[in-house]
Structure 1
Amino acid sequence: MGENLERLNANLAKMEELSKRMVNALAKKEGMDDPGLSGPGGDLYLKASSAFLNDMMTNPSKLMGQQVAYWSKALENFIETQQALATGTFEMPEDDEDAPKDRRFSNPMWRTHPYFRFVRKQYELNSEAIQQSVAELDLEPKEKSRVEFFSRQIIDLFAPTNYLATNPDALQKAIDTDGQSLVDGLENLVRDIEANKGELLPTLSDPDAFKVGSNIGTAEGKVIFRNRMMEVIQYAPVTEEVYRTPLVIFPPWINKFYIMDLKPQNSLIRWIVEQGYTLFVVSWKNPDPSYADVGLEDYIADGYLKAIEVAKDVTGEKQVNAVGYCIAGTTLSATLALLQARGDKSVKSATFFTTLTDFSDQGEFVVFLQDDFVDAIERQVGERGILDSFFMSKTMSFLRSNDLVYTPAVRSYMMGEAPPAFDLLYWNGDSTNLPGKMVTQYLRRLCQANDLADGGFELMGERLHIKDIKVPVCSIGTKTDHIAPWKNCYIGFEQFGSRDKTFFMSESGHIAGIINPPSKKKYGHYTNPKVKGTPDEWLEGADFHEGSWWPRWEEWLQRRSGAQVPARIPGESGYDILCDAPGTYVLEGKNS
């Protein structure tokens, strides 16, 4: 008893200390973000309310029917619980095994204990009622998508698993540990608030488990060029001979390039080098406010065109093969159109990983691509010069709020668990800032106006359009991608002017579908040599293949890479070695 009391007093003292730290951390919160970044404009609420009221006035019987059905189910749930408690029965029969299972409610108590069963079922009834009401609103499609998104956010926020009093796992652990789990959880909460300068976003991975260049991002190579936009890394060969045409990879600058080199066993960079290619990878600068006026033209001139020039100089070749991933693929398509307009044949072929070039269907990002949000982003970058990496992390996380916000928060803050040592989630948290001008160009001209696919994107003295791309191209979409849905990737790709077009669709999502090494034999892929017609028509005629798409792509790349020549060693071409891979720019930011 004395030992338990001593432990309790120590925990109370610890909580008092942590509470003071939390107050201090919250007091250091930087100036408020533009309110428009926190939610939709008032016009959306007005339109949703008007649509609901109009439905209620024109079809009151439907509303009455919905209400009666809801209250009937809620009353039935209450009576079942009351009867169980009145008879002293604290166990109930499990629900129908065929009912959909939500992994948040995996604890058997959610189905057998009267109190938790009541809470769960009432939450499910409330969620169903909200979703039904929203689904029946008569709104323009984009507005309806936004209402559905924000309604889902509310539903996810109020899940009973998110609150201590209605989470049996957290309550049980608090009892079992004499409150230690709650102390540990508060410590985790304070740590995250301190790390994010007064803002709250759960840490997804142990920040001390990985170090770029030590246990991730370790493929051997040298930085051979650096300017204000990027570093160019030339990777060391592991074969005596390599294909004549070098390969240049442009990763997205929203995150960092080492997603392609996390661990040796799933490193795309290592695998490409092992196949016998001279590989160059761009590592982008993480911009600070001094980059406010940097636009897409700077990324193209001082990034794409310069990296291509470096690769040509190093190898003595007249052409390179290029790869663009996500937003870097979008910009690669603009670069190809620019080269075509200039009569420059420096790029022999191009590959696109999960790349959107036609934004007519904005998918889940439609929520953030309407004027109220974009106006707020413009005001924010106008004031700060950059779009801060925290905003990008938060936005991406709330697209998958249960997986990337609430579940990690429950484990960390209520269960007191340490974040896992997970390399992919570590990378996910190592996001970057975006220059103000580039953000505005991307959102206004490419996403909202859809210039690349429609009227043409005016840049660098030319009007750029994806139909002007003529080089051989290959595109890889991923089946469950929520950032760049494969059908949207296909729609833009199908419009390219190239006669030689190849499209693959990999299983899984934006990251796992691309970082899918053959050795794991995990996700398969679809192929169809005919890139014409709708995405559904393409898929209907496609063949499924077990395993990674990497070898199939390498066969495509090999045919466009020339004969074998002696391997090129970094530093032997006249370009000085500036430092070892992964370089210095990749270390700038939150996880450095």
Structure 2
Amino acid sequence: MTTQPTTPAMPDFEALSRNAGQFMEELGRAAARYVAPEDGLPVQPKPPQEASDLVRTLGTVAETWLSDPKRTLEAQTKLSEAFVALWGSTWFRLQGREAPPVAQPEPKDARFSDAEWSSNPYFDFIKQGYLITTRWAEGLVNEAEGIDDHTRHKAQFYLRQLAGALSPSNFVMTNPELIRHTLQENGANLVRGMKMLQEDIQAGSGELRVRQTDRDAFKFGVDVAVTPGEVVFRNDLMELIQYAPRTETVLKRPFLIVPPWINKFYILDLNPAKSLIGWMVDQGLTVFVISWVNPDERHRDKDFESYMREGIEAAIDAIGVSTGETEVAAAGYCVGGTLLAVMLAMQAATGNTRIKSATFLTTQVDFTHAGDLKVFADEDQIRQIETQMAERGYLDGAKMANAFNMLRPNDLIWSYVVNNYVKGKAPSAFDLLYWNADATRMPAANHAFYLRNCYLENNLAQGKMVLGNIRLDLKKVTVPVFNLATREDHIAPAISVFEGSSKFGGPVDYVLAGSGHIAGVVNPPAKLKYGYWTGGKAEGRLEDWISAATETKGSWWPYWFQWLEAQAPERVPARKPGGDALPSLAPAPGTYVRMKA
């Protein structure tokens, strides 16, 4: 049963008036920081690139409806009927009578969890009116005739951004919880919020960078990235970390992790309880991980081939020097996995097959069903991104961070806007969100190649990608593949990973884990969270595969290690980082990971 909120005490009107004045002053200072950043020179604010594309895309949808007056009238009538029903329901409730809701939020929608959204007819009307309108607009996009699939996808995505921004839960006067909170604090929350807004604009060098956690709460090697090891190799593009053993013997075949360069590697080593790297070491693996440089203008010409040659190939060379082994097993996470797949195709083409098995963690090689990030990857937008990158030689890390946050705007943007700038509360310390905010830049040559060859043209899946004058064909890759997808992934959708499994020429073990792109991967056995599904070859429809698959509770990690160990079970005495040939250049997690965007 829903509990009624307690009636707040009368505010201190003198304090409320004083805080209102301070709020206006702080708001003015925040605006000044936005239009005149640190160099003191005034700037003309420009709408973000996405805003122009939003107007153009939704305008295209509107044109299709306006071209058919009959359908337009039917759509308008449908909206009017819903509001008439809502007005009638609200009238009954104002008379003290019960009335069923016309529209209800989804059960997981935390925006409307406060009791007054349902118990108070005024706020209930606002909530239901918002839900009716946004769902009606979604229907217009879904049912628009004569638009291509990409335009419809973009319209759906941009409509979610608008719906998130315009939610009544974001504003003081339309959110019962925020009204109570503001009256209880006599407006002091708004003053604190404006001060934090100023700080976040300053942190973004004139652009708002919404904080999601305490930026000063974590220290490398102490709170995050804590597994002991040494940097045993470094070049202009990466540091190679070898982790110290924790077992008397280790698998003879070393293991290399290729993380994404879009984020930093320590998502796999957040803390001892959630460290996949630490768990691998505990199983008796000699673990190496690439820590990519946070690039700047000096790296503008580092392309996809550079990341393959100076990244994976250089790492395997150094592993050979450290361990004396010529063969490795490797894992790639997200775009790191895409690079690993390219490396495998290159080795298959040249006959230099030093990678004997591959583990792909939420990795796409076929970008047909690449999810909402495809919204940013049509010809016009890629050309604009290339123009931006040409000015500096790289894509600013905040651009990619914003794109990822837009995949879940209510959770990753607006909940923090309300908490920080309206409630005036500093977000709590959370290692995952600290990592999420630790953005990285991307070299112009590499990022342009990736966007065009993967998202736009899907060349790798079609056997059309060319690197070093060699055409790459994944069908020639015959090494064993472990292909992990997660059910709720917004970045590498499960269907995309599923269909990508058929592009390889050898045996593929497709495994579907619970949760999303990060939590589904970083799911340690001790936590007993989520679960995973196994079902043999990835073929047919994903829905049919899931219905026939076997579900296992808990982490996929032990299942994967059994798969890996079965391929090369021989063990040798544990190896110290660098062996006798590579001196330590720095303790883990190294120096490149500390470079801020």
- 1:379-419 residue CA offsets vs partner (Å, 9 max, x unmatched): 11112211101111111111110111111111111111111
The one-letter amino acid of 1:542's match is: A
Preserved contact between residue 93 and residue 111 of structure 1 (Cα < 8 Å) = no
Aligned alpha-carbon RMSD (Å): 2.4
Preserved contact between residue 234 and residue 570 of structure 1 (Cα < 8 Å) = yes
The one-letter amino acid of 1:129's match is: W
Matches within 5 A, 1:466-481: 466-481=474-489
The one-letter amino acid of 2:435's match is: W
Matches within 5 A, 1:179-578: 179-498=187-506, 500-578=507-585
The alignment partner of 1:299 has SS state of helix
- 1:509-536 residue CA offsets vs partner (Å, 9 max, x unmatched): 1000000000001011011233444433
Which whole-Å CA distance do the structure 2 matches of 1:537 and 1:23 have between them?
A: 54
Preserved contact between residue 55 and residue 137 of structure 1 (Cα < 8 Å) = no
- 1:124-170 residue CA offsets vs partner (Å, 9 max, x unmatched): 22112212222210122111111121122222211101111101111
Measured after TM superposition, the shift of residue 28 of structure 1 is: 3.7
Pick one of 121, 130, 151 that aligns with 1:123.
130
The alignment partner of 1:40 has SS state of helix
Change (3 A) 1:303 1:528: same
- 1:324-347 residue CA offsets vs partner (Å, 9 max, x unmatched): 000010010010111111111211
The one-letter amino acid of 1:183's match is: V
Measured after TM superposition, the shift of residue 35 of structure 1 is: 5.1
Measured after TM superposition, the shift of residue 508 of structure 1 is: 0.6
Measured after TM superposition, the shift of residue 179 of structure 1 is: 1.4
Measured after TM superposition, the shift of residue 372 of structure 1 is: 2.2
Give the TM-score normalised by the residue count of structure 2.
Answer: 0.92
- 1:551-586 residue CA offsets vs partner (Å, 9 max, x unmatched): 000001112234111110114331010111000100
**Alignment-derived partner of residue 77 in structure 2:** 68
Preserved contact between residue 41 and residue 372 of structure 1 (Cα < 8 Å) = no
2:57 is equivalent to residue 44 of structure 1? yes
Measured after TM superposition, the shift of residue 44 of structure 1 is: 3.3
Which whole-Å CA distance do the structure 2 matches of 1:394 and 1:168 have between them?
A: 29
The one-letter amino acid of 1:106's match is: S
Measured after TM superposition, the shift of residue 194 of structure 1 is: 1.4
Which whole-Å CA distance do the structure 2 matches of 1:193 and 1:125 have between them?
A: 34
Preserved contact between residue 146 and residue 367 of structure 1 (Cα < 8 Å) = yes
Measured after TM superposition, the shift of residue 288 of structure 1 is: 0.7
Which whole-Å CA distance do the structure 1 matches of 2:181 and 2:48 have between them?
A: 38
Preserved contact between residue 338 and residue 364 of structure 2 (Cα < 8 Å) = yes
Change (3 A) 1:400 1:213: same
**Alignment-derived partner of residue 587 in structure 1:** 594
Which whole-Å CA distance do the structure 2 matches of 1:333 and 1:119 have between them?
A: 50
Measured after TM superposition, the shift of residue 453 of structure 1 is: 1.1
The one-letter amino acid of 2:359's match is: T
Change (3 A) 1:219 1:540: same
2:149 is equivalent to residue 136 of structure 1? no
Q: Flag structure 1 segments of 5+ consecutive residues without an equivalent.
A: none
- 1:238-268 residue CA offsets vs partner (Å, 9 max, x unmatched): 0111110000001001000110111101100
Measured after TM superposition, the shift of residue 31 of structure 1 is: 8.2
Which whole-Å CA distance do the structure 2 matches of 1:521 and 1:420 have between them?
A: 25
2:178 is equivalent to residue 170 of structure 1? yes
The one-letter amino acid of 1:178's match is: N
Pick one of 168, 172, 180 that aligns with 1:160.
168
Which whole-Å CA distance do the structure 2 matches of 1:13 and 1:540 have between them?
A: 61
Give the TM-score normalised by the residue count of structure 1.
Answer: 0.93
**Alignment-derived partner of residue 40 in structure 2:** none
Preserved contact between residue 22 and residue 191 of structure 2 (Cα < 8 Å) = yes
Change (3 A) 1:77 1:325: same
The alignment partner of 2:291 has SS state of strand
Preserved contact between residue 361 and residue 521 of structure 2 (Cα < 8 Å) = yes
Change (3 A) 1:244 1:25: same
- 1:485-543 residue CA offsets vs partner (Å, 9 max, x unmatched): 11111211222011x32111101110000000000010110112334444334324321
Which whole-Å CA distance do the structure 2 matches of 1:491 and 1:132 have between them?
A: 29
Change (3 A) 1:32 1:573: farther
The one-letter amino acid of 1:389's match is: G
Q: What percent identity do the matched residue pairs reach?
A: 38
Which segment is superposed worse, 36-45 or 140-149? Answer: 36-45
Which whole-Å CA distance do the structure 2 matches of 1:547 and 1:331 have between them?
A: 29
The alignment partner of 2:483 has SS state of strand
Preserved contact between residue 240 and residue 290 of structure 2 (Cα < 8 Å) = yes
Which whole-Å CA distance do the structure 2 matches of 1:97 and 1:5 have between them?
A: 37
Which whole-Å CA distance do the structure 1 matches of 2:579 and 2:363 have between them?
A: 34
Which whole-Å CA distance do the structure 2 matches of 1:44 and 1:16 have between them?
A: 36
Preserved contact between residue 34 and residue 380 of structure 1 (Cα < 8 Å) = no
Preserved contact between residue 251 and residue 326 of structure 1 (Cα < 8 Å) = yes
Change (3 A) 1:133 1:326: same
2:36 is equivalent to residue 23 of structure 1? no
The count of corresponding residues between Structure 1 and Structure 2 is: 581
The one-letter amino acid of 1:482's match is: H
Which whole-Å CA distance do the structure 2 matches of 1:441 and 1:363 have between them?
A: 19
Preserved contact between residue 104 and residue 131 of structure 2 (Cα < 8 Å) = no
The one-letter amino acid of 2:523's match is: N
The alignment partner of 1:437 has SS state of helix
Preserved contact between residue 34 and residue 376 of structure 1 (Cα < 8 Å) = no
The one-letter amino acid of 1:377's match is: I
Which whole-Å CA distance do the structure 1 matches of 2:430 and 2:385 have between them?
A: 31
Which whole-Å CA distance do the structure 2 matches of 1:215 and 1:458 have between them?
A: 42
Preserved contact between residue 239 and residue 592 of structure 2 (Cα < 8 Å) = yes
Which segment is superposed worse, 577-586 or 342-351? Answer: 342-351
